[in-house]
Amino acid sequence: MDKEERKTINQGQEDEMEIYGYNLCRWKLAIVSLGVVCTGGFLLLLLYWMPEWRVKATCIRAAIKDCEVVLLRTTDEFRMWFCAKIRLLSLKTHPFSSPKSMANKVSNGHAVLTENLAEENRHEISKYSQTQSEQIRYFTHHSVKYFWNDTLHNFDFLKGLDEGVSCTSIYEKHSAGLTKGMHAYRKLLYGINEISVKVPSVFKLLIKEVLNPFYIFQLFSVILWCTDEYYYYALAIVIMSVVSILSSLYSIKKQYIMLHDMVAAHSTVRVSVCRVNEEREEIFSTDLVPGDVMVIPLNGTIMPCDAVLINGTCIVNESMLTGESVPVTKTNLPNPSVDVKGMGDELYSPEIHKRHTLFCGTTVIQTRFYTGELVKAIVVRTGFSTSKGQLVRSILYPKPTDFKLYRDAYLFLLCLVAVAAIGFIYTIINSILNEVEIGVIIIESLDIITITVPPALPAAMTAGIVYAQRRLKKIGIFCISPQRINICGQLNLVCFDKTGTLTEDGLDLWGIQRVENTRFLLPEENVCNEMLVKSQFVACMATCHSLTKIEGVLSGDPLDLKMFEAIGWILEEATEEETALHNRIMPTVVRPPKQLLPESTPAGDQEMELFELPAIYEIGIVRQFPFSSALQRMSVVARVLGDKKMDAYMKGAPEVIASLCKPETIPVDFENVLEDYTKQGFRVIALAHRKLESKLTWHKVQNISRDAIENNMDFMGLIIMQNKLKRETPAVLEDLHKANIRTVMVTGDNMLTAVSVARDCGMILPQDKVIIAEALPPKDGKVAKINWHYADTLTQCSNSSAIDSEAIPIKSVHDSLEDLQVSRYHFAMNGKSFSVILEHFQDLVPKLMLHGTVFARMAPDQKTQLVEALQNVDYFVGMCGDGANDCGALKRAHGGISLSELEASVASPFTSKTPSISCVPNLIREGRAALMTSFCVFKFMALYSIIQYFSVTLLYSVLSNLGDFQFLFIDLAIILVVVFTMSLNPAWKELVAQRPPSGLISGALLFSVLSQIIISIGFQSLGFFWVKQQPWYEIWHPHSDACNTTGSLYGNFSHLYNETEDDPHNIQNYENTTVFFISSFQYLIVAIAFSKGKPFRQPCYKNYLFVLSVIILYVFILFIMLHPVAPIDQALQIVCVPYQWRITMLIIVLVNALVSIMVENFCLDMVLWKVVFNRDRQGEYRFTTTQPAQESVDYWGKCCLSCALDCRKKIPKAKYMYLAQELLVDPEWPPKPQTTTEAKALVKENGSCQIITIT
C-alpha cells in the first residue's frame, strides 16, 4: 500500500486529525444500494449515523494525493469520525495572471505573499508535482478549507499573514497594498471574508432531528404497536415525540438565529483599502483578503477581520472577545528596519503582538493619526481564521463533553439491551412451545425490546439539567453549556483570579515612596501638592498610562485612572480639526491645574501675555508603548513644552523595572522595602525615567522599538496601591474549605502580594508554611534548577535560615494517620518558574499541583497550562475570573465562571451577573443537585423498564400481556408525572464535605439498583404465583365471577364484567390484574425510595408538586383496587377479584414498600453510601478503617458490569489520591529549606530530577 494512505493534519494542535484517502467504488455502491432496498432503508440510516462505515462500505483505499473522498478521525480521547469530499478549484478562467504559476503557489499551501509572482515561480517550479495542473484540490471541514500541499505531501489549511511572516516583511512587502490582480487571486483562494452562520431551514433541521437514532427507535416502536393494535399508546408516544421534536427545533433554531445575529454585524460594512499605486478603493468588507491595507475610519468601526496596525493609534473595545469593558489602546507594529538593535528576524504573531493587532468583531472607538498619513492596518486573517471566527467555530462545532456519568449511561443502556435480548429469546421459545402464530411471535418478541429501553429516558435525563439552569438564572448565573452543570457537581478544586475576583476591582492609592540620591524617602500620602508638581515622579504618573477621553469622559485601566486622579492633573486630546492643521501628530497633553502651579508675575500690559506662554507647564505624550502582561511594564515618550530633549517614562512590576534601571540608581534596601509592602498585601508599582538624546526627532520616535527606550533608566521610586478584599471573599473560601474543595490563586500580581492576600482571605491558614519554588532555566552550560525558600509566616522572623526542622510536617510513627494533616504546606511560584518546571521538571509537576496554592505573575496562556496540569492529576477544576486575562483557562476548566457583567463574552460556560465569588458555591451546589437528580432519574427509569419488562415476561408465560390503557396509565399517568416532578428538588442550602459519585458504575449506586430490582421482581413474582394458589382461581373467561365468592358486595357489577367483549389478546385475567396493581405501586415505591434529599438536594417533602402527584396517584390506585369502579375497570381491562385478594395485594404492596425503603435508606445510606463518600480531603490521602470496605464495594460494583459486558477495565482512583498516599511516606518531601533541585542533564526525556542540599 502507498505510504500516503494515512497522514496527520493540524499536527500538535487542538484539532489534530488523522486523514485517510478513498475513491468511490461502483460495485461496492451497487451492493450497498441493494442492501438499502432489502433492509427497507435501515442500512442507509446506519451509514448516515456512521461516517466511517459509510466511506468504507462504498469506497476503496487510495493515495491521499489522488483520492476523491477523505476520512478524518480526531486524535483526542473521543476518536470521532468525519468524511469530506475532495473538490477542485479551477484557475483557468482568471484573466490576470498565469494559472500555472498560481497553482504552483497554492500547492505550497500558503497564500501568495509577494508581489513578484513570476520570479517566485521560476524559483519554485521544480519543487511541486502539480505545476502543470490548472486545478487545486481541497476539502472543507468545520468551515476551514484544506488545500493539497505538494511540499508537505499532505493537506494543509490556507494561512494568512499570521504565520511565518516577519515584522520586517510586514512593512517592506505588504505595507504598500495589493494590485487588483493579486487581490482577485487571493479572493479566489481565501473566499469571501465572512463568518457565515447559515440558519438552516426548518425542513433541514426537522430531517436532521427526526433521523436521530432515538426517534427512529420511537418510529419502530409506534409501527410495532399499531400492528398490535395498541393505538392509544402509540398515539401518546407520537404526541410526545412531536412535542419533543418541536421544542428541540425551536431551541436549536433560536440558538442559530442568536449566533447568526451575533456574527452578522460586520458582514456588509464598506471599507476603504489602499492599492499599490497609492490609490484608495471602496470595497465591501466581504471582499477583504490577507495582505489588503485597510484604512481605519476616523469615527471608528467594527473590525471585519484581524489586522495589524502599521500607522497611527486606535482605541478599541474588545469586550466581545474578552469580556473586558475597559478600552484598550493599540499602537502601530514596531518597524524593525528602523530599530537600533535591528530585531528584523522577529516573526509576527497576533498573540505576541496583540497590542498592535485589531481583532475581528472588536469595536474601534477612536483613532490617532498623522496629517496625510491615514490610520492603516494590514489584513492578516479573514473569515473563520480570525479570532472571532475561531470562537464561532468552537460554538458551532463543540467538543463532546466527556463525563463519566454519560459514558456510564451508555453502558447501562447496553445492559438494558442485553436484558431485552434475553427477554426476546425467552418470548420466542415460550411462544413456539405454546404453538403461537408466527406473526404474534414476531410482534411480541419485538415488543419486549421497546419495553426494556424506555422511550422517555432522554427527556427525563434532560429535565433535571433544565430545572437547574432555570434556578441558576434566578440567582444571576447564565449558562451557555447546560451539560456542564452536572460536571460542576464534581468540582473539587477552584482556581481564582485575584484582582477583581477575590479583591475589589479598583485600587486605592495608599501613598508613594520616592528615591533621591539612591535612598528611599519617607512614604508620602498626598501626591497632589505644589512641591511635587514639576517633579519627574509626578510627570511619570501624569504621562505613563493608556487613558483616553471617550465622549468627554476619562476612561481606561482602573489602576491608571486612580493614579491619574491622585495627582489631580488635566488630560486634553487634540480634536480632528487641530490634528489636520499640523504636519506632525498632535500629542495628548497633560497639565496640572492652575492652583498647583507657582503664581506668575502679573503683567502690566495685555500684550505681555504672549511672552508668558512658555511659563505654562504642559507635557505632551509623543509615543506610547502599551502595557504588556508578558513584559509586565509600559512606557511612554513625552516632552515638556519648551524642552529640547524628550523624556522616557516607564512603570511596571518593581522587579522588572529595577532590572532595566542603572544599578547605581537603585537603593540598597530596595528588596527589603518591596518585601515589606508586598507582605502587607499592597500592590506595588515602580517608576523610572531617563532623558533621551536630542537627536531623536518626533518621526524617529514613532518608529523606534520599545527595547531602545526601555533601558538604562533612573529608578524614581514606588507607588503603593491598596487592593482590598471583597467583603464576601473570606466567607466563601471558608465554605469551600469546609466542603473539602481546594482553592488556588492564579494572578498576574507580585508573588508576595498574592501570598499575603491568600493569607488574609483564608486560602493559606496562619499556621501553614509557604514554600516558594524559584526555578531557573539552563544557563551557561548549567542545568535547570529549583531553589526552595520557606516564606516567613507572620509569627516568624525574617531570617529564613532561622526556620528549624519543625517547619516541615514531621511524619513520626506515633502520629495517628487519621489525624495527620498533610496539607500544612503550600507551594507558591511565579509564571517564569512555572514554565521552567513544566519544561524541565515534569516529574515534579504532579507533586507541586497537589499543594500548589499561589501562582503569581501568570500570563494568560500559563493560566490555561495550570488548569491542564491540575486536570492531568484528575482534579475536577473550576475557574473563576473576571473574563479579561482568563478566557483560555475559563474555557479549559471543567466549570469556568466569568464575573464579567457583559453577557457578550462567550468564552466562559457560565457568566455571573453579580461580580462576586459567592456564585461559585451556588454553582457547585446546583451542580451537585443536578447530578444527584440525574442519578435518581436514571435509577428510576432503569427500575421502570425492568419492572415493566418483568411484568410483561410473567404475563407472556400465560400468553397474556398488559392492556393498551394499562400501558398508557403506567407510562403517562405514573412515569412521566413522577419523572418530571422528582427532578424539581432544589439544591441543599449549604455545601457539604461529601461529593456525589461521578459515574453510575459505583458500588453504592449499583447496589441500590440491583437490590430494588430483586425486591420488585420478588414481590411481583409472589403476587403472580400466589394468585394461582387461591381456591377461587380459574383460567379467566367472560363468565367468570370470582367476586361472588366473597358475598354480594360485587354482585351488582358482575353483569358488567360478564358482558365484556371477546379478548383476543387474553388481557383480562387474574394474573394481569394482580401484576398490574402490584407493579403500579412498585413504580411509586421506587420513586420515593430514589428521591433522595440531603446532603445534596432539599428533602423530597419540600418538592410539593412531586408529593402532590405521588399522593394523588397512590389514592387513585388504592381506590380502584379496593373499591372498583366499573367504567375504569373496563377501560383498564381489569377483572373482578375477591375483596380478600385485594387486601392481600395491599399487604404485599405495604411489605414491598417497607423492604424497599429500609434497604435504600438504611442499608445503603447508613452503611454503603458513607463508605463510598469517604473521600480525600484537599488531595490528602487518609487511611481509614472503612477504606478496604470501599474498595471491595467499588470493586464488586465494577466487576458486576464487567461480567455483564466483559469490556470494562477496573478504573483506578484519582491520580492525586495515589500521589498523596505516596508523599505520606516520602522522607524527601516536601523539600527542606535552602535546598536545590537540579534537573538531570538530558539523561531521561521524562524530566527526572535529583535533590541536592546546599551546605
Q: 3-state SS string over 276-291?
A: CCCCEEEEEHHHCCCC
Which secondary-structure segment (H or E) carries 25? none
- pLDDT category of residue 111 using cuts at 50, 70 and 90: very low
Question: What pLDDT was estimated at residue 744?
Answer: 92
Please enumerate in sequence order all residues whose Cβ is within 8 A of that of 789, keeping only pairs 6 or more positions apart, or say none: 771, 772, 774, 800, 1233, 1234
Does residue 1025 surpass a pLDDT of 60?
Answer: yes
- pLDDT category of residue 1017 using cuts at 50, 70 and 90: very high
User: What does the DSSP 8-state code read for residue 970?
Assistant: I
917: Cα separation from own chain's centroid: 18
Ranges 58-67, 293-302, 659-668, 1180-1189: which has the least confidence: 1180-1189
Residue type, 372: G
Nearest to 799, CA basis, from 705, 612, 646, 672? 672
Pairwise CA distance, residues 288 & 279, whole Å: 16
Pairwise CA distance, residues 382 & 81, whole Å: 27
Q: Print the SS3 string covering 455-474.
A: CCHHHHHHHHHHHHHHHHHH
- pLDDT category of residue 1064 using cuts at 50, 70 and 90: low
Helix (DSSP H) and strand (DSSP E) numbers for the chain: 42, 42
Does residue 1080 surpass a pLDDT of 90?
Answer: yes
Give me the DSSP letters along 1037-1061: -TT--GGGGG-STTHHHHHHHHTPP
522: Cα separation from own chain's centroid: 48
Which has more pLDDT, 989 or 1179?
A: 989
Nearest to 721, CA basis, from 692, 767, 687? 687
Which has more pLDDT, 396 or 865?
A: 865
- pLDDT category of residue 811 using cuts at 50, 70 and 90: very low
Q: Is beta strand 508-516 parallel, antiparallel or unpaired with respect to 519-520? A: antiparallel
Question: What pLDDT was estimated at residue 1115?
Answer: 93
Catalytic residue among 339, 497, 560, 1129: 497
Average of pLDDT values for 1183-1205?
40
Instruction: Out of 335-344, 599-608, 941-950, give the one with best mean pLDDT.
Output: 941-950
Residue type, 118: A
Kindly report, residue by residue over 533-591, the tens digit of the pLDDT: 788 888 898 888 888 777 777 877 777 888 888 888 888 876 655 544 444 456 788 88
Does residue 989 surpass a pLDDT of 70?
Answer: yes
Which secondary-structure segment (H or E) carries 520? strand 519-520
Residue type, 582: H
Pairwise CA distance, residues 525 & 504, whole Å: 21
- pLDDT category of residue 1078 using cuts at 50, 70 and 90: very high
Average of pLDDT values for 485-490?
85
Does residue 968 surpass a pLDDT of 60?
Answer: yes
Note the helical H segments in 787-918: 831-840, 845-851, 860-872, 887-892
Average of pLDDT values for 680-688?
84
- pLDDT category of residue 1108 using cuts at 50, 70 and 90: very high
Kindly report, residue by residue over 65-104, the tens digit of the pLDDT: 888 899 998 887 778 888 899 888 877 555 444 444 444 4
Pairwise CA distance, residues 107 & 128, whole Å: 7
Query: How many CB atoms within 10 Å of residue 1189?
Result: 17
- pLDDT category of residue 962 using cuts at 50, 70 and 90: confident
Pairwise CA distance, residues 1101 & 985, whole Å: 9
For the chain, give the percent of residues with pLDDT over 90.
7
Backbone angles phi, psi at 1091, to 5 degrees: -80, 80
Which has more pLDDT, 434 or 1107?
A: 1107
Sign of CA dihedral 798, 803, 808, 809: negative
Question: What pLDDT was estimated at residue 598?
Answer: 59
CB burial string 903-914: b at 16+ within 10 A, e below: eebbbbbbbbee
* Three-state secondary structure call for residue 372: coil
Average of pLDDT values for 615-632?
78
Cell of 361: 468583531
Identify the residue whose cell numbers are 491619574.
564
Give me the DSSP letters along 753-772: HHHHHHHHTTSS-TT-EEEE
| Torsion angle defined by CA atoms of residues 543, 549, 555 and 559, in that order, rounded to the nearest 10 degrees | 10
Query: How many CB atoms within 10 Å of residue 1184?
Result: 13
Question: What pLDDT was estimated at residue 380?
Answer: 92
Does residue 1082 surpass a pLDDT of 90?
Answer: yes
- pLDDT category of residue 1045 using cuts at 50, 70 and 90: very low
Do 1017 and 950 touch, CB atoms closer than 8 A? yes
Q: Which conformational region is residue 345 in: left (phi greater than 0), alpha (psi within -120 to 50 degrees), or beta?
A: alpha
N- to C-terminal Cα distance for the chain? 63
Question: What pLDDT was estimated at residue 824?
Answer: 77
Question: What pLDDT was estimated at residue 620?
Answer: 86
Does residue 498 surpass a pLDDT of 70?
Answer: yes
Pairwise CA distance, residues 180 & 273, whole Å: 11
Does residue 477 surpass a pLDDT of 80?
Answer: yes
Confirm whether 339 is a catalytic residue: no
Ranges 409-413, 483-487, 1004-1008, 1210-1214: which has the least confidence: 1210-1214
- pLDDT category of residue 222 using cuts at 50, 70 and 90: confident
Ranges 121-135, 951-965, 1064-1078: which has the least confidence: 121-135
- pLDDT category of residue 1153 using cuts at 50, 70 and 90: very high
* Three-state secondary structure call for residue 1186: coil
CB burial string 496-518: b at 16+ within 10 A, e below: bbbbbbbbbeebebbbbbbbeee
For the chain, give the percent of residues with pLDDT over 70.
78
Pairwise CA distance, residues 142 & 139, whole Å: 10
Identify the residue whose cell numbers are 409506534.
222
Q: Which conformational region is residue 116 in: left (phi greater than 0), alpha (psi within -120 to 50 degrees), or beta?
A: beta
Does residue 793 surpass a pLDDT of 60?
Answer: no
Do 952 and 445 touch, CB atoms closer than 8 A? no
Q: Which conformational region is residue 511 in: left (phi greater than 0), alpha (psi within -120 to 50 degrees), or beta?
A: left
Mean pLDDT of all residues belonging to the chain: 76
Please calculate the CA angle 1125-1126-1130 and round it to the nearest 5 degrees.
120
Cell of 862: 500559563
Does residue 942 surpass a pLDDT of 50?
Answer: yes
Question: What pLDDT was estimated at residue 31?
Answer: 92
Which secondary-structure segment (H or E) carries 789? strand 785-791
Global confidence as pTM:
0.70
Identify the residue whose cell numbers are 518597524.
335
- pLDDT category of residue 405 using cuts at 50, 70 and 90: low
Ranges 439-448, 651-660, 878-887, 934-943: which has the least confidence: 878-887
Ranges 510-519, 694-703, 1062-1071, 1227-1236: which has the least confidence: 1062-1071
Question: Is residue 240 classed exposed, middle or buried when 0-12, 13-18 and 19+ CB atoms within 10 A define those classes?
Answer: middle
Residue type, 724: K
Average of pLDDT values for 143-168?
84
Residue type, 199: V
